């Protein structure tokens, strides 16, 4: 992927100043449709593979429901109740049939429809991931530009060292570190949770309370993204800045700001966008760990709990959702790509 991007940029560098891209409505519509259709076999494949994988993994959801003890009769009854006594192909056909009718089934462990369990956990994850993604990408870009503008200065070295440290720290370790320093020692932020349980805030106070709780988990989740974005921006921008068209732009007497933002950065962003888009899937994994450490009531933790509990319907639905998110994220990445580089056409 990066190689491909590189090629495109190399070609771009030989051409004249890139103009503003315009997206034809007709082509876009057809393109989107085609990409959607392409997504169908992907999602289907995910459905089959995950279904088989999680059902052949050792473990029995009934054992979690039973807790401790129980007799053969109990297990037989519960297996029958949840349809787990049927053959695997039969279970799959019944499940797939239900899914195509919009029914994702009933969660074993929560005793609720799967969609309502997922919906109840979605906002927390969207808030956490959204904040981490937006803040880390923005900040990463900014730091990358700063470092690229003044290469081999203390500022550059400082940014490089910090982002490298951020890049090498595992999420769970960074999370614990942040808790110890900023929650336990300095007492600036709470240790865990999405909101205070002792007080019941309303209105703005409630928003402030959630934001207060959001800071540490968002930092620990966003750190990797920030590091990657800033490193990539720096390298890419350094390369672009040394190219001929930048020299041309400067020679034309354009201000440094215009050269940087309209000419150089636009080109330099291409690989960054690819990587950020591709990272959404990875970020979900990070979210699971972050949510465990900070007791954040989101989807990542739900996925982990569903796995440990062998809550098949819930697990399947989350996997389908995650794979669709990745498909959509890829699509958005490609759209952003085309917007940045007008030579990319929907065909």
Partner 1 sequence: MARATKTKSTQKWLSLLTVLMLMMAALPALGGSVSYAQSDSRTFPETGKTVKGRFLQYWNEHGGLAQQGLPLSDEMQEKSDLNGKTYTVQYFERAVFELHPENQAPYDVLLTLVGVFSLKSTHPLGAPGEKASTENPLKFAATSKVVGGKFRDYWEKNGGLAQQGYPLTNEFQEVSTVDGKTYTVQYFERAVFELHPENAGKPSEVLLSLLGRFQYERKYAAGSPQHGGTAVIAISTDPGQLNSAITTSGNTHSVSDQIFNGLVGLDESLNPIPELAKSWDIAQGGKVYTFHLQSNVKWHDDQPFTSADVKFTFEQALLKFHSRTKAALESVLDGIDAPDPLTVVFRFKQPYGPLLQRLDVVEAPIIPMHIYQGKDLQNDPANLKPIGTGPFKFVDYVKGDHVTLTRNPNYFKSGLPYLDRVIYRIIPNASTAAQALEQGEVDYIGSVQGSDLTRLRSNKDITLAQGYGGSGGSVCQDVLIPNLTKDPFNTLEVRQAFYMALDRQFILNQVYFNQGSLSTGPISKQLAWAYTPDVHIYSYNVAAANDLLDKAGYPRQRNGTRFSITFTHATSFDKLGAAMADQLKAVGINLQQESLDFNAAVDKVFVKKNFDLGIASYCNGSDPEIGVRRAYVSSNIGPIAFSNGAGYRNSTVDQLFDQAATLTDRGERAKIYAQIQKIITDDVPYFWLVDSQGFRAYRSVFKGFQVSKGNLVEQAWSTQPGR
Please name which of 197, 219, 220, 221 lies closest in space to residue 210, comparing C-alpha atoms: 197
Using N-to-C axis directions, what is the helix angle for 114-149 and 203-241, rounded to 10°?
Answer: 50
- Cβ neighbours of 245 (radius 10 Å): 19
**String of contacts with partner 1 for each residue 83-112, x by CB under 8 A:** -----------------------x--xxxx
Contact 294, 210 (CB under 8 A): no
Asked if 55 is part of the footprint of partner 1 (rule: CB under 8 A), the reply reads: no
Asked if 202 is part of the footprint of partner 1 (rule: CB under 8 A), the reply reads: no
Asked if 17 is part of the footprint of partner 1 (rule: CB under 8 A), the reply reads: no
Interface residue with partner 1 among 20, 37, 56, 197 (CB under 8 A) is 197
- Give the C-alpha distances (Å, rounded to integers) separating 161 from 117, 153, 158, 171: 42, 12, 5, 18
Asked if 79 is part of the footprint of partner 1 (rule: CB under 8 A), the reply reads: no
* Phi, psi of 192, rounded to the nearest 5 degrees: -150, 165
**String of contacts with partner 1 for each residue 223-262, x by CB under 8 A:** ----------------------------------------
Contact 175, 216 (CB under 8 A): yes
Segment interacting with partner 1, rule: CB under 8 A, options 27-35, 241-249, 254-262, 308-316: 308-316
Asked if 52 is part of the footprint of partner 1 (rule: CB under 8 A), the reply reads: no
What is the rounded CA–CA span in Å between residue 254 and residue 256?
6
Contact 232, 272 (CB under 8 A): yes
Task: Kindly state the smallest distance separating residue 57's Cβ from partner 1, in Å.
Answer: 7
**String of contacts with partner 1 for each residue 162-191, x by CB under 8 A:** --------------x--xx--xx--x--xx
What is the rounded CA–CA span in Å between residue 239 and residue 224?
23
Asked if 206 is part of the footprint of partner 1 (rule: CB under 8 A), the reply reads: no
Residue ranges binding partner 1 (CB under 8 A): 57-60, 63-75, 77, 81, 106, 109-112, 117, 120-121, 124, 176, 179-180, 183-184, 187, 190-198, 292-295, 297-298, 301-302, 304-305, 307-310
């Amino acid at each position: 992927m990066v190689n491909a991007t590189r090629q495109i940029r190399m070609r771009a560098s030989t051409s004249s100043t890139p103009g503003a891209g315009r997206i034809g409505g007709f082509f876009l519509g057809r393109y989107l449709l085609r990409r959607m259709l392409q997504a169908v076999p992907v999602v289907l494949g995910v459905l089959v593979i995950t279904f088989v994988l999680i059902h052949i993994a050792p473990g029995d959801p009934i054992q979690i429901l039973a807790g401790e003890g129980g007799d053969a009769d109990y297990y037989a009854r519960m297996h029958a109740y949840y349809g787990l006594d049927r053959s695997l192909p039969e279970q799959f056909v019944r499940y797939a049939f239900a899914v195509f009718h919009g029914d994702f089934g009933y969660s074993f462990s929560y005793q609720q429809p799967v969609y309502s369990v997922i919906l109840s956990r979605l906002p927390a994850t969207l808030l956490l991931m959204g904040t981490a993604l937006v803040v880390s990408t923005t900040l990463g870009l900014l730091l990358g530009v700063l470092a690229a503008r003044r290469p081999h200065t203390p500022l550059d070295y400082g940014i490089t060292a910090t982002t490298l440290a951020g890049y090498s720290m595992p999420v769970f370790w960074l999370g614990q570190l942040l808790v110890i320093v900023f929650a336990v020692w300095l007492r600036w932020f709470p240790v865990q949770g999405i909101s205070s349980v002792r007080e019941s805030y309303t209105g703005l106070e409630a928003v402030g309370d959630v934001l207060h709780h959001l800071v540490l988990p968002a930092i620990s989740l966003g750190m990797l993204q920030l590091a990657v974005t800033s490193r990539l921006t720096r390298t890419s921008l350094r390369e672009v800045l040394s190219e001929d068209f930048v020299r041309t732009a400067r020679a034309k007497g354009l201000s440094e700001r215009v050269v940087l933002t309209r000419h150089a950065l636009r080109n330099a962003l291409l690989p960054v966008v690819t990587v950020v888009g591709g990272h959404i899937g990875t970020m979900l994994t990070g979210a699971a760990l972050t949510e465990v450490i900070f007791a954040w009531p989101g989807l990542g933790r739900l996925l982990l709990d569903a796995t440990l509990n062998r809550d098949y319907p819930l697990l399947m639905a989350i996997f389908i959702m995650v794979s669709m998110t990745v498909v959509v994220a890829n699509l958005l990445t490609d759209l952003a790509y085309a917007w940045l580089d007008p030579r990319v056409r929907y065909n």
